[in-house]
């Protein structure tokens, strides 16, 4: 469930960031360029929570636990970097709120996966 929260808050943040004054103008005039490499990385970052939402329901407990810990840490670090970048460029309260939620949710995933009781074989 938290993986779905991660992706929904991220997509809401992207949409609200596009509405921030000047962002669309920068994108349409070419002042801010988004190349295919950045789009590819963005697609991977979007796919991780979506794939994990399914895998957490289908994987065995031990693999599930470690995959949640590893990918949760990766996404947390990425979203903290995103928060730092946005805090220097877009100081709107709604964007900051969604950015904070964006890195707290995967951090909670890591916490719950770490603290989850180990299953007996």
**pLDDT mean over 92-115:** 91
pLDDT at 121 > cutoff 60: no
Q: How confident is the model at residue 119 (pLDDT cuts 50, 70, 90)?
A: low
Domain count for the chain, please give it: 1
Question: pLDDT tens across 77-87, in order?
Answer: 999 998 888 88
Question: pLDDT tens across 8-42, in order?
Answer: 998 998 888 888 888 788 778 877 777 889 889 98
User: Is residue 33 in a domain?
Assistant: no
- Neighbouring CB atoms inside 10 A of 52's CB total 24
User: Is residue 88 in a domain?
Assistant: yes
User: Is residue 24 in a domain?
Assistant: no
User: Is residue 25 in a domain?
Assistant: no
**pLDDT mean over 57-61:** 93
User: Is residue 98 in a domain?
Assistant: yes
Whole-angstrom Cα Rg for the chain: 16
Containing structural domain, residue 109: 2-14+38-115
* Per-residue pLDDT at 107: 96
User: Is residue 62 in a domain?
Assistant: yes
32: left (phi over 0), alpha (psi -120 to 50) or beta: beta
* Per-residue pLDDT at 33: 72
Asked if 79 and 42 count as a contact pair (C-beta separation under 8 A), the reply is no
Q: What does the mean pLDDT of the chain come to?
A: 88
Phi, psi of 35 (to 5 degrees): -85, 175
* Per-residue pLDDT at 52: 96
User: Is residue 22 in a domain?
Assistant: no
User: Is residue 31 in a domain?
Assistant: no
**pTM above threshold 0.85:** no
């Amino acid at each position: 469930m938290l993986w779905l929260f991660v992706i929904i808050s991220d997509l809401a943040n992207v949409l609200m960031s596009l509405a921030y004054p000047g962002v669309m103008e920068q994108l349409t005039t070419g002042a801010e360029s988004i190349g295919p490499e950045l789009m590819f990385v963005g697609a991977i970052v979007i796919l991780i929570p979506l794939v994990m939402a399914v895998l957490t329901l289908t994987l065995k407990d031990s693999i599930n636990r470690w995959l949640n810990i590893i990918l949760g840490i990766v996404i947390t670090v990425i979203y903290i970097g995103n928060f730092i970048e946005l805090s220097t460029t877009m100081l709107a309260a709604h964007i900051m709120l969604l950015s904070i939620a964006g890195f707290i949710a995967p951090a909670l995933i890591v916490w719950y996966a770490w603290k989850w009781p180990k299953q007996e074989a």
